[in-house]
Amino acid sequence: MKAKLLSIFNDRTAKIGIVGLGYVGLPLALRFIEVGFSVIGFDVDGAKVDSLMAGKSYIKHIPSQAIADAVKNNRFQGTTDFQMAREADVLIICVPTPLTKHREPDLSYVLGTIEALLPYLRPGHLISLESTTYPGTTDEELLPRIEGAGLTVGKDAFLVFSPEREDPANPNYVTQTIPKVCGGVTPDCLEVGVALYEQVVDRVVPVSSTRAAEMTKLLENIHRAVNIGLVNEMKIVADAMGIDIREVIDAAATKPFGFTPYYPGPGLGGHCIPIDPFYLTWKAREYDLHTRFIELAGEINTAMPDWVIGKVDAALNERERSIKGSKVLVLGIAYKKNVDDMRESPSVILMEKLRKKGAVVEYCDPHVPVFPKLREHRFDLSSVELTPEQLAMYDCVIVATNHDVFDYDLIQEHAKLIVDTRGAYRKALPNVVSA
């Protein structure tokens, strides 16, 4: 089985199955297609599958033309039918791993996916989990299910963990150029996994086990979460002292060694940084360990929207206004600049907290024309157009996500009050408050 897989990877005749066609799965599918593989894309959302088969992208930074060409050339087949897993030689799982309301790992998407695939697994399959999770998930959850279906992992089928490392809309790093970590359940699993990813990624980094690969991904994201927590706390201290924290960060970044700049904001967003650290804190409790440093950073980052609300409240009070009854415009509801991804966006938390305090809240985000239906957040809103007349209507404008598309001079000229959480304005202006 191993020899056959290695052969069809090298001549690129293997059929690749990718489960989950979101911000991770879809770019990966296009990369496999780009080098000559055929891909079956699985998703439980029929609307996504229909869109792709019509040659239309639903992710801003992924061009529709690339999808249309793949469909036209019979290199891509989207489906909601998991029976087609039999036709694939590789099954790569790229589904969400969120937290429950109690900040515990929610593996329902991963386990639901593997359960849906089990009836269609066959000898010769390579299964790769890319979803971020706690160390032990691949060994403890996927391995027994696959072997329970009658396959011997490492002989009949192969199982690896290879964490995704996508950075949406970052032109400097794409799927091909980002090194890929891979860990296998057995040495043969690792060899097969590395052989697969070497076809599409410039550098594959093998590690000794799936647990090491799982921990690697968590360390990467915990590193960012802790440093962002540190700089957010520094921002609060610097603000109290009348010091511009961004000036300080830029000055410190001139040191050519021993310092990496991180910048503050209104909180953490995205599919990784606000979530992944808590996967490790949860697993650590199984070993009677308390990850105090990680949890403290989480507390600081989670509290940042409240600190911003405090700045809004104080700025409005100085103008003899209160949050209740004020019209507030939130600029940018994606979790980071120049993308349409709203997962865990702190902008949405700000909107909810402002609404709860009685503000009339609207938003502007050209990347998100209509506020989408989210599981936990509901707003019946569309993005407003930024005109001088529209800007003058609001009591406060909050720069929550600093998209390049915004005309910051226009905003500053016509807004009564701007609360800037992203450093869009780096000089003192009478109607701008740094937050």
Provide the pLDDT confidence category of residue 167 given band limits of 50, 70 and 90.
Answer: confident
Q: Of 213, 237, 270, which residue constitutes the final position of a domain?
A: 213
Residue range 238-268, pLDDT digits in tens: 999 999 999 999 999 999 999 999 999 999 8
- For residue 276, what pLDDT band results from cuts at 50, 70 and 90? confident
Q: Considering the domain boundaries, does residue 220 fall inside one?
A: no
- Assess whether pLDDT exceeds 90 at residue 201: yes
- The CA-atom distances, in angstroms, between 219 and each of 26, 158, 185, 262, 273 are 25, 25, 20, 16, 11
> Hey, which residues are catalytic here?
272
Let me know if 57 is exposed, middle or buried by CB neighbors in 10 A (0-12, 13-18, 19+).
middle
Q: Are residues 311 and 166 in the same domain?
A: no
Residue 183 has pLDDT above 90, yes or no: yes
Q: Mark whether 75 and 166 lie in a shared domain.
A: yes
CATH of the domain at 187: 3.40.50.720
Q: What is the pLDDT of residue 150?
A: 95
Q: Where would I find the H helices in 75-209?
A: 108-117, 137, 143-148, 187-197
Instruction: State the DSSP string of 4-33.
Output: HHHHHHHTT-PEEEEE--STTHHHHHHHHH
Q: Are residues 268 and 186 in the same domain?
A: no
The per-residue pLDDT for 172 is 87
Predicted pLDDT of residue 76: 97
Q: Quick one: 118 and 69 in the same domain?
A: yes
Taking residues 3-30, report their average pLDDT: 96
Domain boundary among 166, 194, 213: 213
What average pLDDT is seen over the chain?
Answer: 95
Query: What's the structural domain count of the chain?
Result: 2
pLDDT one-digit tens code per residue, 311-354:
999 999 999 999 999 999 999 999 999 999 998 899 999 999 99
Residue 253 lies in a domain: yes
Query: Of 40, 19, 215, 221, which Cα lies nearest the Cα of 109?
Result: 19
**Is it the case that residue 310 has pLDDT exceeding 80?**
yes
- Give the distance, in angstroms, between the CA of residue 1 and the centroid of all CA atoms in the same chain: 35
Give 373-390 pLDDT, tens digit per residue.
877 778 999 999 999 999
**43 and 88 share one domain:** yes
Q: What is the pTM of this model?
A: 0.92
Whether residue 371 has pLDDT greater than 80: yes
Give the least confident one: 47-56, 58-67, 232-241. 58-67
CA 209, 214, 220, 225 torsion: positive or negative?
negative
Which residue range(s) make up the domain with 307? Answer: 246-434
